[in-house]
């Protein structure tokens, strides 16, 4: 016997899902449809006229080698941000979980950076690494290393990755920490009695049990790296030097709101939508198979 709640008639169920549908329609479907529609035109900034170009905007973009390079930049950036924010978070969560005394204090301190807005975090890191007045770059200079992220693309990438991952570690920490709390003690104790050391217990028992959380965080962090790191990049590098840190979403902004090229900007959002959709499908299809709930 299948157990399900049934409603008589259509009115009540429709009324119940209506808010969600309305919100999705207003804040997602409508703007997305607008973006698709606008990507077929080259409008002038003031909306006085617009010229239908079909797929011209996409053609223009894909024939631009800097735009194609931006895909690679985005892939490198989001992989690094995801790794740099998840691995330390897991490590910190495991350590904090082992603490008997004072774990509350550490927990609170570790969550703090999450309260810092990305743009502010960007400015903080920028000040530390400023080539002239930065504390860190001064120490590096003392050690004989000439830090200059204004001209060195690799250093610029490193800096935006660290600045983006930093606040995110807190968020991931919170989830990992909660997940660790729900790992049954009895399983761990049984393994301990069998003579398994801490890290062996961690890799064979705890980690598999954490996999649903880790998978969730993977999806969320990739989306974060794709979209929400805008503020960090805007404040630290502005996409430079050359285009070393111009990720896809930053180019959407700079073409649309600095360059007033709304056609190209819309086409880019459509491409971005497709890319992130595909990524999520891949994640759910392939990675999720390895997750044990």
Partner 1 sequence: MKKNLLGALAVTTALSPLAAMAQTEVQFWHAFTGRLGELVKAQVEEFNASQDEFVVVESHKGNYSETLNAGIAAFRAGEQPHILMVFEVGTATMMSAKGAIKPVYEVMAESGASFDPDAYIGAVKGYYTTTDGDMLSLPFNSSTPVLWVNRDAMQAAGVDPDTDLSTWEKVGDVLEQLKAGGEDCPLVTAWQSWIHLENLSAYHNVPFASQDNGFAGLDTELMLNGPVQVAHLSAMGDWAKDGKFIYTGRRNEGGANFRAGECALFTESSAGYAGIKAEAEFDFDVRPLPYWEAVTSEPQNTIIGGASLWVMEGHDPEEYKGVGEFLSFLSSSDVQAAWHQNTGYLPITAEAGEATRAAGFYDENPGTDIAVIQMTAKEPTANSKGLRLGSFDQIRGIIDEELEAIWSGEKSAQEAMDSAKERGDALLRRFESANQ
For partner 1, what does the binding mask look like between residues 172 and 201, x meaning CB under 8 A? Answer: ------------------------------
Nearer to partner 1, 51 or 98 (CB): 51
Residue 204 half-sphere exposure toward CB, CA atoms < 13 A: 11
How far is the C-alpha of 188 from the C-alpha of 196, rounded, in Å? 9
| Rounded least distance, CB 56 to partner 1, Å | 9
Minimal distance, residue 134 CB to partner 1, in Å? 12
Cβ-proximal residues to 112 (8 Å cutoff; 6+ apart), any chain = 170
Give SS3 for 42: strand
Q: Which is nearer to partner 1, 260 or 280 (CB)?
A: 260
Tokens 């004072």 correspond to: 102
- Burial of 228 per CB tally in 10 Å (0-12, 13-18, 19+): middle
Among 22, 257, 273, 280, binds partner 1 (CB under 8 A): 257
Binding partner 1 (rule: CB under 8 A), the pick from 131, 183, 209, 219 is 131
Print the binding letters for residues 51-80 with partner 1: x by CB under 8 A, - otherwise.
x-x------x---x-x--------------
- Do you find a cis peptide bond into 241, omega within 30 degrees of 0? yes
Out of 3, 10, 46, 115, the only residue in the binding site for partner 1 (CB under 8 A) is: 46
Per-residue x/- mask for partner 1, residues 264 to 293, rule CB under 8 A?
x-----------------------------
Pairwise CA distance, residues 238 & 258, whole Å? 12
227 token code pair: 């979209």
Q: Decide if 232 contacts 164 (C-beta within 8 A).
A: yes
Residues 204, 205, 211, 217: what is their CA dihedral angle, to the nearest 10 degrees?
Answer: -100
Token readout for 153 is 């693309």
Instruction: Name which of 15 and 133 has its Cβ closer to partner 1.
Output: 133
Q: Does 141 bind partner 1 (CB under 8 A)?
A: no
Candidate list 92, 255, 267, 268; residue touching partner 1; CB under 8 A: 255
Residues forming contacts to partner 1 in the complex (CB under 8 A) are 42-48, 50-51, 53, 60, 64, 66, 131-133, 150-152, 238-243, 254-255, 257-261, 263-264
């Amino acid at each position: 016997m299948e157990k399900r709640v049934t409603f008589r008639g259509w009115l009540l169920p429709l009324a119940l899902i209506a808010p969600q549908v309305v919100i999705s329609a207003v804040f997602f479907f409508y703007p997305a449809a607008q973006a698709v529609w606008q990507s077929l035109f080259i409008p002038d900034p003031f909306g006085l006229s617009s010229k239908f170009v079909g797929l011209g905007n996409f053609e223009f973009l894909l024939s631009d080698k800097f735009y194609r390079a931006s895909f690679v930049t985005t892939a490198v950036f989001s992989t690094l941000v995801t790794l740099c924010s998840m691995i330390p978070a897991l490590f910190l969560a495991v350590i904090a979980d082992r603490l008997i005394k004072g774990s509350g204090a550490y927990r609170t301190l570790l969550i703090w950076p999450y309260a810092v807005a990305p743009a502010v975090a960007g400015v903080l890191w920028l000040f530390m690494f400023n080539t002239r007045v930065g504390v860190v770059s001064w120490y590096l200079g003392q050690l004989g290393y000439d830090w200059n992220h204004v001209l060195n693309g690799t250093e610029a990438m490193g800096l935006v990755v660290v600045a983006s991952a930093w606040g995110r570690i807190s968020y991931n920490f919170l989830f990992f920490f909660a997940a660790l709390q729900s790992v049954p003690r009895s399983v761990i104790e049984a393994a301990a009695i069998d003579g398994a050391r801490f890290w062996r217990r961690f890799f064979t028992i705890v980690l598999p049990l954490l996999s649903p959380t880790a998978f969730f965080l993977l999806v969320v962090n990739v989306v974060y790296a794709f979209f929400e790191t805008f503020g960090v990049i805007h404040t630290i590098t502005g996409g430079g030097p050359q285009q070393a840190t111009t990720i896809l979403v930053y180019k959407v902004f700079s073409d649309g709101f600095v360059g007033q090229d709304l056609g190209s900007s819309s086409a880019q959002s459509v491409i971005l939508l497709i890319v992130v959709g595909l990524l999520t499908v891949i994640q759910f299809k392939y990675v999720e198979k390895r997750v044990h709930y």
